[in-house]
Amino acid sequence: TAKLIKGTEIREQILEEIAEEVKQIKEKHNKVPGLVTILVGENPASVSYVTLKIKTADRLGYKEIQDNQPEDISEADLLALIDKYNKDDEIHGILVQLPLPKHINEKKILNAIDPDKDVDGFHPVNVGRLMIGGSEVKYAPCTPAGIQEMIVRGGVETSGAEVVVVGRSNIVGKPIAMMMCQKGEGANSTVTIVHTRTKDLAAHCKRADILIVAAGVPGLVKPEWIKPGACVIDVGVNRVGEKVSEKTGKTIAILRGDVDFDAAKEIAGSITPVPGGVGPMTITMLMKNTLNSLKYQLGLK
Ligand code: NAD
C-alpha cells in the first residue's frame, strides 16, 4: 500500500515553523504579521472559511482584522476600504473572500489589492511573477504552494519526473503546472496539462510519476490509470452526501476526492487522502505568505 502524505500532519509542522519565526521576529523587530479578511454579506460557506483563516492567524500570534461589510456595500466603498488597508503598514496580507455580490466587479476589486499584499497570489502581477519564476516569485497561490510542499515533504523526487496535471483552472491546474516545470528544488519536472478536451486522459495519466488531479469530478481517476509507484495528489473536494458526525452529532458533508482512493492506494507509491490531504494545506500556505510579506517589509527576505 501507498505511503499516505497527510496534509493534517504537514500543516502542523509548517505552523510550528511559522510560530517560531513569528516569535523571533517579534522579539527582534517588535512586529507581527497582519492579516485582514474582508467579508461582504453573510454567505455561510464564506463565513466558515473566514473564521478558519482568522482562527489560524490568531493561533500564530498574527494581528488579524475581520472586516465584515454589508451585502449592499457599494463598489466605490469597497475600493476605498482596500485602499485604506493597502496604505496600512501593519497589514501585510489582504484577503477578499469570494464570491462577491453581483453588483460588484470581482476582477476590479481583486486588482485593486496591492500586489505586495496579495497573499492569495491571484493578482495579475503575482501571476506574472509566478510565470517568470525563481526569485521573482513573491506569493505563489496557496493551494498549488501547498501541493508542492506536500510533494517535497513527502520525499518525492521531482527533478526529471513526468508530472501530469488534470485540470486547467487559474487557481490550481495552471499555476501548479507552471510551478512544477520551473527551475529549482521541488520542481524541474516535465509537465503535461490535461483537461476536458484531452483525447486520451487515461493514456496521459498512466505516464505520470506524479499525478496531480484537480478536476472536481468524484472518482474521475481510475486505479488502472495510475502508474505503479506513482505519487498521487488528489486536490478534488466533492460533496457526495451527508452524515451525522460521531464527534459533534452535527450533520456534515461526506467528502470524496477525484481519485478512487481505496483502489488507488494499492497501486500508488504515495497518495494524499480526502479529506485531510491538500485541503488543510491551503490556509497553512496563506499564513506562510502573510509571514513572508512581513519579511519582505523588514528586508529579511
Ligand atoms: P475548476 O472547476 O475551476 O476546474 C476544473 C478543471 O478540471 C477544468 O479545467 C476542467 O477542464 C478539468 N476537468 C473537469 N472535468 C474533467 C474531466 N472529466 N476530464 C478532464 N478534465 C476535467 O475547479 P478548481 O477550482 O480547479 O478545483 C478543482 C477541484 O479541487 C474541486 O473539487 C475543488 O473543490 C478542489 N479544490 C480544493 C482546494 C483545497 O483543497 N484547498 C482548493 C481549490 C480547489
What's the rounded mean pLDDT across residues 272-299? 98
User: Average per-residue pLDDT in the chain?
Assistant: 97
> Is the CB of 165 inside a 6 Å radius of any atom of ligand 1?
no
248 C-alpha to ligand 1 centroid (Å): 30
Q: Is-same-fold flag (28-126; 140-281)? A: yes
Q: Please provide residue 261's backbone torsions phi and psi, each rounded to the nearest 5 degrees.
A: -60, -50
What's the rounded mean pLDDT across residues 100-121? 97
Q: What is the pLDDT of residue 171?
A: 96
What's the rounded mean pLDDT across residues 162-181? 98
In sequence order, the 6+-apart residues with CB closer than 8 A to the CB of 258 are: 166, 213, 214, 215, 216, 217, 218, 219, 220, 221, 234, 235, 236, 238
Query: Over pLDDT 90: what percentage of the chain?
Result: 100
Q: Please provide residue 37's backbone torsions phi and psi, each rounded to the nearest 5 degrees.
A: -115, 125
- Annotated domain spans of the chain: 28-126, 140-281
Taking the domain 140-281, which CATH number applies? 3.40.50.720
List the Cα angle 32/38/44 in 5-degree steps.
120
Pocket probe mutation, ligand 1, options 48, 172, 221, max atoms within 8 Å of Cβ: 172
**Is there a contact between 190 and 160 (Cβ–Cβ < 8 Å)?**
yes
pLDDT band at 72 (very low <50, low <70, confident <90, very high): very high
Among 116, 118, 120, 258, the active-site one is: 120
Q: Rounded CA gap, 173 and 23, in Å?
A: 35
Q: What is the pLDDT of residue 125?
A: 98
What's the rounded mean pLDDT across residues 138-155? 98
Q: What is the pLDDT of residue 156?
A: 98
Q: What is the pLDDT of residue 134?
A: 95
Count of Cβ atoms closer than 10 Å to residue 205 Cβ = 25
Q: What is the pLDDT of residue 166?
A: 99
Beta bridge partners of 66: 37
Residue with CA nearest ligand 1 atom 8? 167
93 C-alpha to ligand 1 centroid (Å): 26
Among 97, 148, 182, 297, the active-site one is: 97
In sequence order, the 6+-apart residues with CB closer than 8 A to the CB of 200 are: none
**Residue 182 is a catalytic residue:** no
Q: Please provide residue 298's backbone torsions phi and psi, each rounded to the nearest 5 degrees.
A: -90, 0
Closest CA to 38 of 85, 5, 72: 85
Q: What is the pLDDT of residue 218?
A: 97
What are 234-261's pLDDT values in tens digits? 999 999 999 999 999 999 999 999 999 9
Closest CA to 176 of 98, 234, 99: 234
Pocket probe mutation, ligand 1, options 237, 283, 287, max atoms within 8 Å of Cβ: 237
Query: Over pLDDT 70: what percentage of the chain?
Result: 100
What's the rounded mean pLDDT across residues 61-74? 97
Could you check whether the bond before residue 175 is cis, i.e. omega within 30 degrees of 0? Answer: no
Q: Rounded CA gap, 125 and 200, in Å?
A: 34
Q: What is the pLDDT of residue 150?
A: 98
Superfamily of domain 28-126: Leucine Dehydrogenase, chain A, domain 1 (3.40.50.10860)
Q: What is the pLDDT of residue 98?
A: 94
What's the rounded mean pLDDT across residues 127-134? 98
Q: What is the pLDDT of residue 183?
A: 97
Q: Rounded CA gap, 246 and 168, in Å?
A: 37
In sequence order, the 6+-apart residues with CB closer than 8 A to the CB of 44 are: none
Q: Rounded CA gap, 278 and 7, in Å?
A: 6
Beta bridge partners of 36: 65, 94
Q: What is the largest CA-CA distance in the chain?
A: 57
- Which atom of ligand 1 is found nearest the CA of 220? 18
> Is the CB of 167 inside a 6 Å radius of any atom of ligand 1?
yes
Q: Rounded CA gap, 257 and 35, in Å?
A: 30
**Residue 116 is a catalytic residue:** no
What's the rounded mean pLDDT across residues 137-143? 98
- Which atom of ligand 1 is found nearest the CA of 278? 40
Q: Rounded CA gap, 300 and 32, in Å?
A: 13
Q: What is the pLDDT of residue 6?
A: 98
**Residue 120 is a catalytic residue:** yes
What are 263-282's pLDDT values in tens digits? 999 999 999 999 999 999 99
Residue with CA nearest ligand 1 atom 13? 215
200 C-alpha to ligand 1 centroid (Å): 18
**How is residue 98 written as a grid cell?**
469570494
